[in-house]
Amino acid sequence: MAFENLTERLSKAMKNLTGRGRVSEEDLRATMREIRLALLEADVNYDTVKKFVANVREKASGADILEGLNPAQQVVKIVNDELTKTMGEEAVPLNKSPKIPTIIMMAGLQGAGKTTTVAKLAYKLKKEENARPILIAADVYRPAAIDQLEILGRDLEIPVFQLGTSVNPRDIVRQGLAKAAENKNDYVFIDTAGRLQIDDVLMQELKDVADIAHPDEILLTVDAMTGQNAAETAKGFSAALDLTGVVLTKLDGDTRGGAALSIRDVTGKPIKFVGQGEKPTDLDVFYPDRMASRILGMGDVLTLIEKAQRDFDEEAQAKQLEKMRQNTFDFNDFVAQLKQVQSMGPMEDLLKMIPGMANNPALANVNIDAKQFSHLEAIVSSMTPAEREDPDLINPSRRRRLAAGAGRPIVEVNRMIKQFDQMRKMMNQATNGNFGGIDKMMGGSGMNMSSMMGGGGMPSGNFGQKVQNFAIKQAARRLQKAKKKRGKK
C-alpha cells in the first residue's frame, strides 16, 4: 500500500524524540532534517517540503501549548496537523450543477488513468445516487481509446457517446452534449486524450472543449507515482484550464505518495478522489485528515468502518444476524460472509487501517493469499444443498468426497468444518445475550480467522489471533494511558 516507506521514515524521525522530558533545539533540528529527507525521498515537491518543514519548526519551537502531551507527542501532533493542512483540511465534494446535467471533464498526461477514472466515477454515481450518466469519448488520438471507453461502458451499463476518430473532438463534445440534453442524462463525462502540458496545439483543444462545454468540474488526473514533475504538470494544466479538482490514481502501488502531499500546495486545488485498484469500485473520496493519520502510521479506522458499511449488503447482513439468532447459520451464509469480507479489498490493506498495525513488523512481509478464500469456497461448493443447510450431516465419508471434489487435502476440510462448528457455537452464545463468553469469542474467532487463512503461506498457525490480541492489547494500553492522564488532571 502507498505511503508505507514514508510512514516508516517519519516514525523513525520522530522516534528520537520519544522518552525525552523536553526537546532541545539540537534534537529538534535533527528531527526536522530527518523529516525533510523523508519527505524529499517520498517525491514531495521540494518547495512544499521547504514550507512544510519551516511551518513545523516554527510551531514546534514555540510550543508548550498542549498539556498532557509529552514533547514527542506534541511534535507528532504538529506534523499531523501540518500534513492535514498541506493536503487540504477537509474532503471536498463533487461540484454539482443546480440543474442537470452536471458536466465533468477530465484532463491529464498520457497514461495517468483518465478513462479508467471516468468509468469508475460514473459507476460510483450510478450506484450511490442512481444517476444516469453518459460518457463522451473525445480521445481521437490514442489507438483504441474509444473502444476502451465503450467496453467499460458496456460492462457497467453506462451509455457512451462516440463519433469515431475522424471527427474533431470539439464537434464530438458539442454533439454529445446535445445528445445528453435529449436523453436527460444528469451527469455528462468528457474523456479527453492524454497530452503534455507543453503541447500548445492540444492544450488549445482542451481550452476550446472547456469553452464549449462549460464544465462544472474539470478534474486533473495525476499518477500517484509521479515524481518532482508533478508540480510542473499541475502548473501547466492549471494555467491553461480552470481546474476544479484533482484525482490521484494508482495509489494502490507502493508509492511513497509525494504527489498527494504536493499537489494541493502547488495548484491550490483540492484532491477529490483517489483511485486504488483495478476494479470499477476502487475509487474513494479523498479525506486529508484520514490520509494524514495513515501516513503517520496511526491507522484509518473511519475508512475501514465506511468500507465495511458500503461493501456489506445490509439486507444480507440482517438476514444473517437473524439466522445466527435462530442458530440456523449454515454454510450458505458462511460463503456469503466470506465473499463480503473479500469484497472489501486485500486483507493486508484492511489490517493496516487498524491503528498501530501499519508499522507492525509482524505485518511487514505478510502476504495473505487470496486463494485461501477460494479454497474454502471450493469446499463449500462441493457440498450438496442438503449438506450446506445441515452441516451435521457431514460424516467422514462425505468429508472424503468433499476433499476430492474441492481438490484440497482432507485435513483442510476437517479443519474448516471444525472451525465452522466453533463459530456457530460462539455466535449462538453471543446473540443470546451471553456476553460473558465474549473474550473467548474474540480469541476463538481470531483462531478462526487465522486457521481459515493459515493453511499455507502464513508465518504461523494462529497468526490471526496474534494480530488480534496485539490490537486489543494496544487498545487497552491506550485506554489505560488516557485514564491515567485524566486522573492527573
Partner 1 sequence: MGLFDIFRKKKTEENSEQSKDTVEARANQDNSAEFEIPDNIQETEEKHDQNVAEESAPDDVSEETATQELPKSVAPEIVEQQIYTKGLEKSRTGFAARFNKFLANFRSVDEDFFEELEETLVGADVGFDMAIKISDDLREEVKLENAHRPEDVRDVIIKKMVDMYEADGVNEDATMHFNVNGTTVILLVGVNGVGKTTTIGKLSTKYQQQGKSVLLAAADTFRAGATKQLQEWGVRAGVPVVSGKEKADPASVVFEAVTKARDEHYDILFVDTAGRLQNNVNLMQELEKMKRIIKREIPGAPHEVLLVLDATTGQNALQQAKLFKNSSDVTGIVLTKMDGTAKGGIVFAIRNDMHLPVKWVGFGEKASDLREFKPEEFIYGMFKDLMA
- Chain positions contacting partner 1, by CB under 8 A: 37, 40-43, 46, 49-50, 109-113, 141-152, 155, 196-198, 223, 225-230, 232-233, 236, 250, 252-256, 258-259, 278, 367, 370
Grid coordinates belonging to 364: 511487514
Contact partners, residue 362, CB within 8 Å, separation at least 6: 459, 463, 466, 467, 470
In the complex, the smallest distance separating the C-beta of residue 199 from partner 1, rounded to whole angstroms, is 9
Q: What is the DSSP letter of 437?
A: G
What is the rounded CA–CA span in Å between residue 31 and residue 13? 5
In the complex, the smallest distance separating the C-beta of residue 122 from partner 1, rounded to whole angstroms, is 14
Is residue 184 within 8 A of residue 71, CB to CB? The reply is: no
Comparison of 148 and 183: residue with beta carbon closer to partner 1 = 148
What is the rounded CA–CA span in Å between residue 161 and residue 124? 19
Grid coordinates belonging to 281: 469500485
Q: What is the DSSP letter of 97?
A: -
Comparison of 50 and 127: residue with beta carbon closer to partner 1 = 50
Comparison of 222 and 447: residue with beta carbon closer to partner 1 = 222
Comparison of 145 and 403: residue with beta carbon closer to partner 1 = 145
Comparison of 146 and 172: residue with beta carbon closer to partner 1 = 146
What is the rounded CA–CA span in Å between residue 109 and residue 136? 18
In the complex, the smallest distance separating the C-beta of residue 287 from partner 1, rounded to whole angstroms, is 22
Comparison of 204 and 229: residue with beta carbon closer to partner 1 = 229
In the complex, the smallest distance separating the C-beta of residue 150 from partner 1, rounded to whole angstroms, is 8
What is the rounded CA–CA span in Å between residue 111 and residue 160? 20
In the complex, the smallest distance separating the C-beta of residue 244 from partner 1, rounded to whole angstroms, is 23
In the complex, the smallest distance separating the C-beta of residue 229 from partner 1, rounded to whole angstroms, is 4
Bridge pairing between strands 283-285 and 271-275: antiparallel
In the complex, the smallest distance separating the C-beta of residue 41 from partner 1, rounded to whole angstroms, is 4
Q: How far is CA 90 from the centre of its chain?
A: 17
What is the rounded CA–CA span in Å between residue 454 and residue 452? 6
Q: What's the first-to-final CA gap in the chain, in angstroms?
A: 40
Comparison of 196 and 305: residue with beta carbon closer to partner 1 = 196
